[in-house]
Structure 1
Amino acid sequence: MTRLLQPVLAGVVTAVVGFASTFAVVLAGLRAVGADQRQAASGLLALCVANGVVAVWLGLRQRVPIIVAWSTPGAALLVATGTVEGGFPAAVGAFAVSGLLLTAAGLFPALGRWIAAIPTPIAGAMLAGVVLDLCVAPVRALAEIPLMAGPVVLTWALLSRFARKWAIPAALLVAVAAIALTGPELGAVDVRPVLEVTVPSWSAQAMVSVALPLFLVTMVSQNVPGMAVLAGYGYRPPLRGILVSTGLASTLGAPLGGHAVNLAAISAALSAGPDADPDPARRWIASVTSGVSMIVLGIGSGLATALVLLSPPLLVEAVAGLALLGALASAIASAVTDPEGREAAAVTFVVTASGLTFLGVGAAFWGLVAGGLMTLLHRRRVNTPRTPPYGEEAVPDGGEEGPDTPQPVRPAGRTG
């Protein structure tokens, strides 16, 4: 009986850890681009349902433990970008365009190859610059609200040593307890799940500041390394179907407030590894139960949003920053590994982290442009290993290693 339940429980744990670890980042991102409480709650619910439906569909169809998540780096990008011209409707239009680009990457392999051609140091530096501001929030919180932030950071630090996968969920529970003890009552807040349709609008600024960078960070930081993680455990599903499914789900979820759906990377190991089931052929069950669990968790999106809105904004940012520290570390490592690309990566990082807005376009885009220009100016080819995103060539060859032996993968940010 325990053997039968093992992949089921693995899927449930994957969903709970993924949701609790990063939903605060998602809500912070949606609020940053102009969503009100109902729109943010709707976006979280839409993402949960989209993740769940795609995970169940792909798991049943391909019999592979494919875990689907929202784009945590993408949500951090929204925090860094802030409100765009046209407000939240323009951001929703950008979400939809990003989803269409993800779909196109599946339908037209050349597009995916162009994305994979972005030098790894520049891609890592852009991601590091995007998440940096949130990652320093725990330090600011310790200085400004020490009585609330101190227990949160201490809980995270202890559990990151002894029970790493539960460190962020436990820190979040401590934050909720602090809110309950010191903040306003939840009684006056509507915690029911809500779906709020926002009619998309279109602006050039939103396309350049949100749609294009969101597509790039989702591909580079989520989908490509997500395939590599699956390959490390002996699975090689065709990426084309995954990109088309997640891209369409992103597009359909955009009017409800969802920003992006993609492959999980790091959290995928919870369901793809031997802890999910000794038999690799049965681990797809974890993908299905993870999807169902994510839909159930989405029902609580109204309560999650209410808790975030009732807490001091800096406390929410602190929890989100703790969740993104792993992504920051991986991004910095990928940015500085190759000596040939370090200078261009440094330029990309400082421009992105500056928060610069020029011609109405956000810093992530300009960081990418600046890094690319530095690369061309020095006429050096940044020779860094890249993971081609398509077909069986899209993933590292496992050689003679068994399906349970993880192979080296491209660093990726934490996912939901």
Structure 2
Amino acid sequence: MTTTPPVAKDEKTPLFERPGVRPASPRDIVRDSGIGYASNGLIGMIFAASGPVAIILGVGAQGGLSSAELASWIFGVFLCGGILTIIASVVYRQPLGFAFTIPGVVLVGPALGHLTWPEVIGAFFVTALLILVLGVTGLVRKVMAAIPMPIVMAMVAGVFLRFGTDLITSVEENAVVAAPMVITFVLLTAIPRLGKFLPPVLGALVVGAIAVALSGQFQLEGGVPTWFAAPVWTAPVWSVGAMLELVVPLAITVLVVQNGQGVAVLQAAGHKPPVNVTAVACGVSSGVAAAFGAVATCLTGPTNALLTASGEKRRQYTAAIAFGILSILFALFAPGFTTLMLAAPPAYILSLGGIAMLRALQQAFVTSFRGAFTLSALITFVVTISGLTIFNIGAAFWGIVIGYIVSRLMERDDYRKGLAG
């Protein structure tokens, strides 16, 4: 049986990881681009601009935010994420897709019931500073290196599982839209000659859009608003209560849960994401985003899974560049694009996300349960899907914590084998 030891600490690894390759030139980017990589970037953007945006709108509406504040929030997260994605992917020549922390948005929801928006903004700024400090000190990489990969990937599998179940539910509830998408994906995958000219996920996207249009399920409510985004500055208020409630949970969500997913997904795809540099970049970007009233930036797991869903490993960075460009465009035209995205039926977005995430979900299960640390991986998976929340911190974090404790108590032989090997 093959064992998967925990990542060993490399004393020679510099605090800030060097790229190891020269940055991609414009000529490199043009040469390495292709329709498959562009479609992966587009799918990633559609995912990020649909469900996650709906969560922001829902949380903001419940918290009494104005339409201008909501538009500024959306502008901030996509602008910062897009710029950071392009820079990091070009420099490291690997897909490094940055967006915003969805669990972090969910954390803000209850807080807006008793905190003012300026107080929340103040917590955003302090969170950015904390993330930056933890990245600069190198603590983030040390923590992630200490956790066996099967445990991290089991957390990823638990988070990604809902994409698979949502796909099945969508076929059941809206077969007119979802079924043609699934059939198209299966055919293009099963017949490589067809898939070569039309990538399976892109085919599902196109067929689904046609099905939505023909079935009359694309419905704009209230017409298209003003297209151009207008950022709003909200002066922060430094509230001790807001700091205690939001800062630590938000930082943990970004560094351990979100960045942990992103790093694990990229490593499973054969890449070597810079853990400390990513943390520092997220801290800087989160500070800029807070100026627009936006939640923290993170190396998102689902988006990077979509960016690495197909193609040659050495060319997948171009999918991230496409995603980054589309993110910036979405930020600039956030009000109009948001309305258009939300006009599509939920089944279209859920089916597209489920289809695109199948390979990533498969890889997460394979890495989690193929060798060592299988018990702790199972515990991590179960806790992650349970929805457990303690101290305003979600189940994905507690899944890793509890799984790691179980591994130390009950799988000591696996550690010994890993250290010996």
Q: What displacement does 1:144 show?
A: 0.9
Contact 1:84–1:205 (CA under 8 A) maintained in structure 2: no
Q: What displacement does 1:195 show?
A: 4.8
Q: What displacement does 1:385 show?
A: 11
Gap change, CA 1:311 and 1:286, over 3 Å in 2: closer
For the pair 1:364 / 2:396, whether they are aligned, the reply is: yes
Query: Alpha-carbon deviations, 1:319-370, whole Å to 9, x = none?
Result: 222232233222212211333x111111111111122335554222332232
> In structure 2, what residue type is equivalent to 1:362?
G
Counterpart for residue 405 of structure 2: 373
CA–CA separation in structure 2 for the residues paired with 1:122 and 1:187: 47
Gap change, CA 1:289 and 1:133, over 3 Å in 2: closer
Counterpart for residue 208 of structure 2: 175
TM-score w.r.t. structure 2 length?
A: 0.68
Counterpart for residue 217 of structure 1: 257
For the pair 1:245 / 2:281, whether they are aligned, the reply is: yes
Contact 1:119–1:382 (CA under 8 A) maintained in structure 2: no
Q: What displacement does 1:146 show?
A: 0.7
Contact 1:81–1:363 (CA under 8 A) maintained in structure 2: no
Q: What displacement does 1:214 show?
A: 3.0
Cα RMSD after superposing both structures? 4.5
Contact 1:41–1:194 (CA under 8 A) maintained in structure 2: yes
Give the alignment partner of residue 169 of structure 2, picking from 140, 143, 161: 140
TM-score w.r.t. structure 1 length?
A: 0.69
Counterpart for residue 7 of structure 1: 29
For the pair 1:121 / 2:147, whether they are aligned, the reply is: no
Give the alignment partner of residue 46 of structure 2, picking from 17, 20, 23: 23
For the pair 1:69 / 2:97, whether they are aligned, the reply is: yes
Q: What displacement does 1:54 show?
A: 3.0
Contact 1:30–1:40 (CA under 8 A) maintained in structure 2: no
CA–CA separation in structure 2 for the residues paired with 1:174 and 1:126: 32
Counterpart for residue 9 of structure 2: none
Contact 1:351–1:366 (CA under 8 A) maintained in structure 2: yes
Q: Which secondary structure state, in structure 2, belongs to the residue aligned with residue 369 of structure 1?
A: helix
Give runs of aligned pairs for residues 292-371 of structure 1, distance below 5 A. Answer: 292=325, 294-296=327-329, 298-299=331-332, 301-339=334-372, 341-358=373-390, 360-371=392-403
Q: What displacement does 1:92 show?
A: 7.0
Contact 2:289–2:295 (CA under 8 A) maintained in structure 1: yes
Contact 2:309–2:359 (CA under 8 A) maintained in structure 1: no
CA–CA separation in structure 1 for the residues paired with 2:210 and 2:226: 17
Q: What displacement does 1:224 show?
A: 6.4
Counterpart for residue 225 of structure 2: 190
Counterpart for residue 79 of structure 2: 49
Q: What displacement does 1:35 show?
A: 4.1
Higher mean C-alpha deviation, range 262-271 or range 96-105 = 262-271
Q: Which secondary structure state, in structure 2, belongs to the residue aligned with residue 182 of structure 1?
A: coil
CA–CA separation in structure 2 for the residues paired with 1:359 and 1:344: 23
> In structure 2, what residue type is equivalent to 1:46?
G
Higher mean C-alpha deviation, range 22-31 or range 89-98 = 89-98
Q: What displacement does 1:121 show?
A: 1.8
> In structure 2, what residue type is equivalent to 1:245?
A
Structure 1 alignment gaps of length 5 or more: 277-282, 387-416
> In structure 2, what residue type is equivalent to 1:352?
T
Gap change, CA 1:111 and 1:259, over 3 Å in 2: closer
Structure number with bigger Rg: 2
Contact 2:45–2:327 (CA under 8 A) maintained in structure 1: no
CA–CA separation in structure 1 for the residues paired with 2:98 and 2:138: 22
Higher mean C-alpha deviation, range 265-274 or range 101-110 = 265-274
Q: What displacement does 1:69 show?
A: 1.3
Gap change, CA 1:168 and 1:204, over 3 Å in 2: farther
Give runs of aligned pairs for residues 200-211 of structure 1, distance below 5 A. Answer: 202=242, 204=244, 206-207=246-247, 210-211=250-251
For the pair 1:154 / 2:177, whether they are aligned, the reply is: no
> In structure 2, what residue type is equivalent to 1:177?
I
Structure 2 alignment gaps of length 5 or more: 1-24, 62-66
CA–CA separation in structure 2 for the residues paired with 1:170 and 1:298: 26
Q: What displacement does 1:251 show?
A: 3.3
Query: Alpha-carbon deviations, 1:93-140, whole Å to 9, x = none?
Result: 776666545533431123311122122122111111112123211100
Q: Which secondary structure state, in structure 1, belongs to the residue aligned with residue 97 of structure 2?
A: strand
CA–CA separation in structure 1 for the residues paired with 2:323 and 2:400: 35
Contact 1:32–1:82 (CA under 8 A) maintained in structure 2: no
Contact 1:42–1:193 (CA under 8 A) maintained in structure 2: no
Gap change, CA 1:97 and 1:132, over 3 Å in 2: farther
Percent identity, aligned pairs only? 24
CA–CA separation in structure 2 for the residues paired with 1:373 and 1:342: 13
Query: Alpha-carbon deviations, 1:356-399, whole Å to 9, x = none?
Result: 3355542223322321332233262654999xxxxxxxxxxxxx
Gap change, CA 1:172 and 1:105, over 3 Å in 2: farther
Contact 1:50–1:253 (CA under 8 A) maintained in structure 2: yes
Q: Which secondary structure state, in structure 2, belongs to the residue aligned with residue 357 of structure 1?
A: coil
CA–CA separation in structure 2 for the residues paired with 1:44 and 1:120: 33
Contact 1:179–1:311 (CA under 8 A) maintained in structure 2: yes
Counterpart for residue 86 of structure 1: 112
Gap change, CA 1:118 and 1:27, over 3 Å in 2: farther
Contact 1:43–1:257 (CA under 8 A) maintained in structure 2: yes
Contact 1:230–1:268 (CA under 8 A) maintained in structure 2: no
Q: What displacement does 1:42 show?
A: 5.0
